[in-house]
Amino acid sequence: MSIEEDSINLTRVGPGTVMGEFMRQYWIPCAMSSELEVDGDPMRLPLMGEKLLAFRDSSGKVGIMDHRCPHRCASLFLGRNEEGGLRCVYHGWKFDAEGKCIDMPSVPDGENVRQKIHSKAYKVHERNGLIWVYMGKDQDNPPPLPDIEVTLLPEEELSIHFVYRDCNWLQALEGDIDTAHFGFLHAGTVNAEDLPEDHIYYPTVIDRAPKYEVNDTPWGTSYGAYRKLPNGEMYWRTANFMFPFWTQNPAGIFEKAVHARAWVPIDDERMMFINVYWKEALKREARPKKNGEFLDEGYRLTNNYVPNTTDWYGRWRLREVESNDWMIDRDAQRSGVNYTGMENIHLQDHAITESMGAITDHAFEHLTQADLMIARTRRRILRAALAYRDNGTPPPGTEDPEVFLQSRGGFFTADVEKSWQDAYDENMKTVLRPAAKALAD
Ligand code: FES
Ligand SMILES: [Fe+2]
């Protein structure tokens, strides 16, 4: 197949597309539980190229359905969230959270008709602060939810953030499995001499062209980037891609790096970044120091949100957008206060992937040895998606959700003689498993 064809198959997510159908076989996290109130306003929820609507009914149950009323397509966004369901304000038809029509007051003797009418609703599952939706064709037989460890933890132990991004899901995801960018985009002006040797930035800035190994894994793909430390040990940074759109980055201490990040398509040209961390894993100082002082400008981890609106694309947007040049500070960039002139690490990733255009033109790229993980991941996704389309091969992890439990991203040191795989397996035996109780249940 041509690059162009592969690229279309990888990036397009609407119904009937290769990736669209493949991703629809998985549960998709799409909103935070806190975004929907009992009997509150319905919320526009565009997802996978479909215009959906979410609401929480009087019993607390969440419904997610096509925003169009199945009568004559008026938007249920304008509807009334009444006792036990959402009522279309055009002719009064009312639907419960599962999409069943439970009242049809505008039709004389409408009982027979009513029983045959359903809104186009999808299966919903709520777990630990996240709302998940299953958009697969066989709505009666959804797969189990994935055992991604961090999503098994109780909500109060989690830090969950959503950020809207104006670009295709794949290029956004690829930014998270691209080890070579860290020493430039985030740390291009940090010097090794300014850092203590045990600082988390230190290994990155002593060698900005790390070598790395890449493996296919049961959950997707993994890389281990390695650098030899001055003390003779090997420093490994492991990151993962997990089907169909999750990543784990290498930026935390492996032992407690319980986190996962979803890059969920809104449509072909928009996506939602969902960052889920175990709070305990965040208890570390990420900012580098210079002359004993923390460097702040350019190294923060906070997002600058504008207030949410009810618009289709109004949730979790940043104030920095292409039309204001992502608020780049050219003086800071020129003087070396930081490398990009952008004030925080998330923004740097955010802006750089938006700057590539709505959908990266794969035929325009020149991938190198340093992009091995990206090439391998594209191939792994494409093969799995085509195997599903052509042979009905179950998408990885849909029948064996426990494969995700063995996936962890983070950094550790190991004896130079030890292979990455051995060191990884050894570390996995002793890592903290905060979800142990949920796993045992
Ligand atoms: S369009 Fe919704 S009830 Fe008529
Ligand atoms: Fe980054």
Tell me the pLDDT tens digit for each residue of 265-286.
999 999 999 999 999 988 776 6
* Ligand approaching nearest to the C-alpha of 347: 2
Q: At a CB cut-off of 8 Å and minimum separation 6, what does 210 contact?
A: 179, 180, 204, 225, 226, 227, 237
Q: Is 91 in the pocket of ligand 1 (CB under 6 A)?
A: yes
In Å, how far are 136, 224, 257, 276 from 238, measured between CA atoms? 32, 4, 11, 18
- Under-70 pLDDT residues of the chain: 285-286, 441
Q: How far is the CA of 180 from the centre of ligand 2 (A)?
A: 9
Q: How far is the CA of 14 from the centre of ligand 2 (A)?
A: 28
Q: How far is the CA of 200 from the centre of ligand 2 (A)?
A: 14
**pLDDT for the residue 169:** 98
Q: How far is the CA of 388 from the centre of ligand 2 (A)?
A: 31
Ligand 1 closest atom vs CA 73: 1
Counting ligand 1 atoms within 8 A of each CB, the residue from 53, 65, 69 with the most, and so the one to mutate, is 69
Ligand 1 closest atom vs CA 88: 2
Is the whole model's pTM more than 0.85, yes or no?
A: yes
What domains can be seen in the chain, in order of their start residue? 28-142 (2.102.10.10), 155-440 (no CATH)
Q: Is 437 in the pocket of ligand 1 (CB under 6 A)?
A: no
Q: How far is the CA of 71 from the centre of ligand 1 (A)?
A: 5
**pLDDT for the residue 24:** 98
Ligand 1 closest atom vs CA 91: 3
* Ligand approaching nearest to the C-alpha of 346: 2
**pLDDT for the residue 285:** 67
Counting ligand 1 atoms within 8 A of each CB, the residue from 76, 87, 88 with the most, and so the one to mutate, is 88
Query: Which of 412, 404, 394 is CA-nearest to residue 435?
Result: 404
Q: Are 286 and 200 in contact (CB under 8 A)?
A: yes
Q: How far is the CA of 41 from the centre of ligand 1 (A)?
A: 18
Question: Residue 195 corresponds to which tokens in the numbers above?
Answer: 């850092």
* Crossing angle between the packed helical segments 372-391 and 3-11, to the nearest 10 degrees: 80
Q: How far is the CA of 347 from the centre of ligand 2 (A)?
A: 9
Q: Is 113 in the pocket of ligand 1 (CB under 6 A)?
A: no
> Residue 166: phi, psi to the nearest 5?
-90, 65
**pLDDT for the residue 295:** 77
In Å, how far are 190, 192, 297 from 301, measured between CA atoms? 17, 21, 10
Residue nearest (by alpha carbon) to ligand 1 atom 1: 72
Ligand 1 closest atom vs CA 72: 1
Residue nearest (by alpha carbon) to ligand 1 atom 3: 91
Q: Compute the distance between CA of residue 356 and CA of residue 396 in angstroms, rounded to an integer.
A: 29
Q: How far is the CA of 76 from the centre of ligand 1 (A)?
A: 8
Question: Residue 258 corresponds to which tokens in the numbers above?
Answer: 């319980």
Q: Compute the distance between CA of residue 238 and CA of residue 74 in angstroms, rounded to an integer.
A: 49
Q: Is 418 in the pocket of ligand 1 (CB under 6 A)?
A: no
**pLDDT for the residue 195:** 82
